[in-house]
Amino acid sequence: MRSKWLQNTSYSIPIKYHIWFWLGYFMFNFIRWGSYFDDYWYSLKSNLVEFPLHIVFVYFNIYYLIPKFILTKKYKTYIVVFIVSLGVIYVLRTGLNYLLVTKNIWPEAENPQQAFTFNHIIAVVLGEIYVVALVTAIKLIFDWIYERDRVENLQKVQLETELKYLKSQIQPHFFFNTLNNLYALTLEKSDIAPSVVLKLSEIMQYVLYDVREPKLRLFTAINYIQNYLDLERLRYGDRIITSTDIEGNIEDIEVPPLLFLPFIENCFKHGAKNTDTIEVNIYFENVLDKWLIFKAENSFNKSVELTETTNTRKGIGNQNVKRRLELLFPNNFELKTEIKDNKYCVYLKIPINEN
């Protein structure tokens, strides 16, 4: 069972890795100093005395001092407590070595040294700081990796949540417009109302079910665009002139659902208000299997002012799509709208099959 004490951090390394690390570090020190003094028995005894002190001080620093003082910005207090702790470790280490290992408390020195001298204190303290710094750096690296992954996962969840919300906004907006059309036909007791219901049911399949997937075939999206054009044609009759052009191979291209329909809706929304004849031209192009270009043009009367600020439903259509594009293809798409030659034009360029 993992100790609660070891969980007092952003990332808890499993205890088995702690054990393996200290065993490896102990063996390294044992062999290093045993080879240095040509006395492995002395190296074993001294390391058995010193390593428990290393371990206690390291964990005291990582799991108590840093969270309590560094993370709360009590830096002066941390320095004082750390120095006092070094003093305690020095006394314990020197005393235990003297009592249990050797009377020569600093055998690596050229001349015999006494305990509690300046040089001996500095040597022991620097050695202790080295161990603490090494292990703390390793722990902080693990924490940084954990925090980075956690933030990335949170951003991914936030992205998915926002995308789902944006798609849910488009669905009621789409049905609201279509049901308004159907309502107008029923008031007129039009014979084409049943055909509208049938087309609407086909589009409902797309809006309610197909959008659950993150991507769908471009061919499927175009098919539903055609259904939508047929639906509007039933309403407006001979007023509508449409064309759909495709250039390049689109067989394997996948796109986010509900990406193009809002632009097609706007064609009819703006065109119906501004002209007697609604001309809608739609264009798809596969550019070198790297980019998909989508264009939509509808007839537009410049004498009738049309801006997004006059649209009482602002924020549901084009702005919604733009926000989705920013989330799906950050800094990797191009969206332009302009009025040119009595036409309202939309130009969209997105990468093909990008995850």
According to the model, what pLDDT value does residue 82 have? 93
Angle formed at CA 183 by CA 182 and CA 184, multiple of 5 degrees:
90
Domain co-membership, 49 together with 197: no
Q: Same domain, yes or no, for 234 and 126?
A: no
The answer to whether position 186 is within a domain reads: no
Q: Which of 131, 151, 171 is the last residue of a domain?
A: 151
Record the tokens describing residue 255, joined without a space: 């796109």
Same structural domain, 270 and 217: yes
Residue 68 in any domain: the answer is yes
Q: Say if pTM beats, i.e. exceeds, 0.95.
A: no
Asked whether residue 117 falls in the same domain as residue 232, the answer is no
Poorest-confidence range of 11-15, 55-59, 317-321?
Answer: 317-321
Would 175 be classed as within a structural domain?
Answer: no
Q: What is the pLDDT of residues 255-274, one digit of tens each?
A: 888 788 888 877 777 655 55
103: left (phi over 0), alpha (psi -120 to 50) or beta: alpha
Residue 186 has pLDDT above 50, yes or no: yes
If asked whether residues 64 and 129 sit together in one domain, one would say yes
Q: Which of 136, 151, 166 is the last residue of a domain?
A: 151
Domain tally for the chain?
Answer: 2
Q: What span, in angstroms and rounded, lies between the C-alpha atoms of 355 and 256? A: 10
Give the CATH number for residue 319.
3.30.565.10
Same domain? For 81 and 204 the reply is no
Whether 181 is in a domain gets the answer no
Q: What is the pLDDT of residue 258?
A: 78
The CA-to-CA distance between both ends of the chain, in Å, stands at: 40
Residues 208 and 109 in one domain: no
Give whichever of 51-55, 149-153, 220-224 has the largest mean pLDDT: 51-55
Average pLDDT over residues 133-154: 85
For position 311, what pLDDT does the model report? 45
Please, how many CA atoms are within 13 Å of residue 56, restricted to the half-sphere of its CB? 11
Residues 313-336 pLDDT 10s: 444 556 777 887 887 888 889 999
Q: H/E element holding 241?
A: strand 240-247
Q: Which two tokens stand for residue 186?
A: 């029923």
Of 151, 174, 204, which closes a domain? Answer: 151
Residues 147 and 213 in one domain: no
Q: Are residues 84 and 224 in the same domain?
A: no
Q: How confident is the model at residue 23 (pLDDT cuts 50, 70, 90)?
A: very high
124 CB burial (10 A radius; 0-12, 13-18, 19+): buried
Task: Determine the structural domain holding residue 144 and report its residue range.
Answer: 5-151
Q: 269: exposed, middle or buried (C-beta count within 10 Å: 0-12, 13-18, 19+)? A: middle
Element (H, E) at 296: strand 291-299
Residue 268 lies in a domain: yes
Residues 231 and 98 in one domain: no
The stretches of the chain forming alpha helices (DSSP H) are 15-37, 40-60, 75-100, 118-187, 193-208, 218-236, 261-274, 318-328
> 308 and 225 in one domain?
yes
Q: Is residue 197 located within the same domain as residue 145?
A: no
Question: CB 86: neighbour CB atoms within 10 A?
Answer: 18
Q: CA nearest 250: which of 282, 208, 214? A: 282
pLDDT of residue 3 exceeding 50, the answer is no
Q: b/e for 282-302, b at 16 or more Cβ within 10 A?
A: bebebeeeebbbbbbbbbbee
Report if residue 185 sits inside a domain.
no
Element (H, E) at 346: strand 343-351
Q: Residue 264: its pLDDT value, please?
A: 84
275 located within any domain: yes
Mean pLDDT of the chain: 79
Query: Is the per-residue pLDDT at 24 higher than 50?
Result: yes
Residue 45 resides in a domain: yes
pLDDT digits (tens, 9 = 90+) for 190-219: 777 777 777 777 777 766 676 667 788 888
**How far, in Å, are 51, 178, 262 from residue 295 at the CA level?**
71, 23, 13
